[in-house]
């Protein structure tokens, strides 16, 4: 078919227009690519209020927009002495033209490789200084990030004081997306926790970023912490899980949560218990120190109330645990289960108040690093061994001068109280009193948790005289020794010592203590008879 002259002219015009369109389109792509780099740099600089350095950047604008780059560094404005606020090995951003042309603009996917965020603290501009910065970010915040992926990232929070170690958070995986026009992000993250080893899974919200005071950037969310092996700490065992919520700013975060360790045990005891806790804590994001107020720990029929701090010590690796522990409704048998391998020898209600210090370090197990300093009292003691309980009942009766038969089912009221200190696995007792009707035992000495060795010295006071504790010829013979064991004010005082182990104790008359008591009595008598008294 032969085209007319008119059609040839029309086709020529159309061909020329198409060629011109292609030239203009190619020039537009070149312009967009060249000026797009500058636009990206300006927007990053506006967002973080600092100088931006990029090793390389490439923009492709057809058929969709793709921006990629390497060696991105965002410096804190006016603080060249600080490390980069943001450091990225490489990034890739993708968006369609339709997503960029509509309002608000959207970036469909952003991938960050080697993301490192370093947050300086103690840099707090006043509200008037920060307001213009927040306003200037609105245009950038109007861009929504639909999907951000950053794996193997780190968040480092610098300390306020020079010379202190920064707090570093290892982020194994991070996914995020924009949820508001001010740049607030929703996120899902996995954090690697080295001590005890495990992963924390968290989801929440981050931002908007405070360009003038990064440490004041808000953060909130929830977390779970599973399969944390407490065996990493020498001397204890158990698999811990935790969950809770947190809210605050990067510099200070309030945390409320609960933990469960269904098979918790201490090596010295070896008896597993189901240990649960509820806690409120304030975490200092600057140094990782944690204020605990309160922590309530519960196992079996016992609840311990705790307040204190987990904090680092300058020049030392790790953190020390400093607590005040108290309870008004614990059970002595529950505490003994944790401390000794044998079944508890007694039951009873215990009140306990103690300072608790676990120094930093891992050279020794928990039991040999732990320091305790406190006091306790136990009421309504019942010995689990019926034979021992019968002996205690008999002791009470004889101490009162009652030589009758011991009732089989009559448990006497027994009380115990004293002060204690634990250091290097050895408990030192002072003012340890054991009371039954008619008698009181006063002891001082040590008990080693490792081998359960006893080294106790004290006195046994009775209301009755020795001769009144028995009948017949024994009573007659004991009248001769009554004066040697007479207690001031009447009754009997016998100095004695306990050795051996908790499982096989040995008892004996403490002749050294008896001589000391006699010397003290003579000294007091001489002092009373001295002239002027």
Helix (H, G, I), strand (E, B) or coil at 31: helix
Q: Could you list the mean pLDDT of each consecutive 10-residue stretch along the chain, which spans 533 residues?
A: 50 47 44 55 59 81 82 77 86 82 82 89 51 38 81 85 75 92 89 84 90 84 91 84 93 93 87 94 81 92 93 74 91 88 86 91 76 92 79 84 78 84 92 90 90 90 89 88 88 91 84 55 44 40
- Answer for the pair 242, 224: CB distance below 8 angstroms, yes or no: yes
Which residues make Cβ contacts (< 8 Å) with residue 104, sequence separation at least 6?
A: 142, 143, 144, 181
Exposed/middle/buried for residue 513 (C-beta within 10 Å: 0-12, 13-18, 19+): middle
Alpha-carbon dihedral sign for residues 507, 508, 514, 515: negative
- Answer for the pair 388, 345: CB distance below 8 angstroms, yes or no: yes
pLDDT at 411: 67
The DSSP string of 116-155 is: EEEE--S----HHHHHHHHHHTHHHHTSEES-EEEESEEE
Q: For residue 309, what is the DSSP state?
A: E
C-alpha triplet 56, 62, 67: angle, nearest 5°: 25
Nearest-angstrom CA–CA distance, 413 and 422? 28
pLDDT at 523: 44
- Answer for the pair 327, 350: CB distance below 8 angstroms, yes or no: yes
Which residues make Cβ contacts (< 8 Å) with residue 509, sequence separation at least 6?
A: 494, 495, 496, 497
pLDDT at 255: 94
Nearest-angstrom CA–CA distance, 154 and 172? 8
Exposed/middle/buried for residue 480 (C-beta within 10 Å: 0-12, 13-18, 19+): exposed
- Answer for the pair 254, 355: CB distance below 8 angstroms, yes or no: no
Nearest-angstrom CA–CA distance, 358 and 215? 30
pLDDT at 207: 86
Residue pointed to by tokens 């407490």: 230
* Maximum distance among all Cα pairs of the chain, rounded to whole angstroms: 153
pTM above 0.85, yes or no: no
Phi, psi at residue 214, to the nearest 5°? -55, -30
The DSSP string of 316-340 is: SSSEEEEEEEEEEEEEHHHHHHHH-
């Amino acid at each position: 078919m032969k085209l007319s002259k008119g059609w040839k002219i029309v086709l020529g015009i159309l061909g020329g227009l198409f060629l011109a369109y292609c030239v203009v389109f190619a020039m537009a792509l070149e312009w967009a690519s060249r000026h797009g780099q500058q636009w990206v740099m300006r927007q990053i600089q506006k967002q973080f209020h600092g100088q931006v350095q990029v090793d390389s950047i490439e923009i492709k604008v057809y058929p969709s927009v793709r921006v990629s780059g390497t060696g991105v560094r965002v410096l804190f404005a006016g603080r060249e002495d600080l490390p980069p606020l943001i450091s990225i090995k490489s990034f890739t951003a993708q968006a369609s033209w339709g997503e960029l042309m509509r309002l608000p603009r959207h970036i469909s996917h952003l991938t960050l490789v080697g993301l490192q965020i370093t947050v300086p603290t103690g840099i707090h501009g006043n509200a008037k200084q920060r307001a213009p910065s927040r306003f200037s970010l609105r245009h950038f915040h109007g861009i929504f990030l639909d999907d951000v992926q950053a794996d193997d990232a780190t968040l480092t929070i610098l300390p306020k004081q020079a010379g202190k170690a920064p707090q570093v958070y290892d982020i194994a995986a991070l996914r995020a997306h924009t949820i508001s026009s001010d740049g607030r992000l929703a996120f899902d993250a996995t954090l690697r926790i080295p001590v005890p080893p495990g992963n924390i899974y968290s989801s929440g919200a981050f931002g908007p970023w405070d360009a003038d005071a990064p440490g004041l950037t808000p953060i909130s969310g929830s977390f779970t912490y599973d399969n944390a092996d407490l065996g990493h700490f020498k001397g204890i065992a158990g698999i811990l899980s935790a969950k809770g919520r947190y809210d605050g700013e990067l510099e200070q975060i309030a945390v409320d949560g609960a933990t469960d360790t269904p098979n918790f045990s201490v090596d010295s005891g070896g008896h597993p218990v189901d240990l649960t806790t509820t806690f409120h804590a304030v975490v200092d994001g600057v140094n990782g120190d944690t204020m605990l107020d309160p922590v309530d720990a519960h196992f079996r029929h016992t609840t311990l109330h705790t307040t204190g701090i987990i904090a680092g010590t300058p020049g030392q690796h790790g953190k020390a645990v400093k607590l005040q522990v108290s309870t008004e409704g614990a059970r002595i048998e529950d505490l003994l289960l944790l401390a000794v391998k044998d079944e508890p020898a007694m039951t009873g209600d215990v009140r306990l108040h103690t300072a608790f210090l676990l120094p930093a370090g891992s050279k020794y197990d928990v039991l040999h690093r732990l320091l305790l300093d406190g006091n306790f009292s136990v009421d309504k003691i019942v010995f689990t061994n019926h034979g021992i309980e019968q002996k205690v009942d008999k002791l009470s009766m004889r101490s009162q001068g009652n030589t009758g038969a011991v009732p089989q089912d009559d448990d006497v009221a027994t009380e115990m109280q004293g002060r204690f200190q634990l250091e290097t696995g050895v408990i030192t007792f002072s003012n340890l009193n054991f009371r039954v009707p008619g008698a009181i035992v006063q002891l001082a000495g040590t008990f080693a948790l490792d081998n359960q060795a006893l080294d106790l010295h004290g006195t046994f006071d009775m209301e009755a005289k020795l001769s009144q504790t028995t009948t017949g010829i024994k009573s007659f013979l004991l009248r001769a020794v009554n004066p040697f064991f007479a207690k001031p004010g009447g009754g009997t005082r016998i100095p004695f010592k306990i050795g051996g182990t908790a499982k096989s104790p040995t008892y004996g008359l403490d002749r050294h203590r008896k001589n000391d008591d006699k010397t003290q009595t003579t000294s007091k008598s001489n002092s009373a008879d001295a002239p002027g008294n």
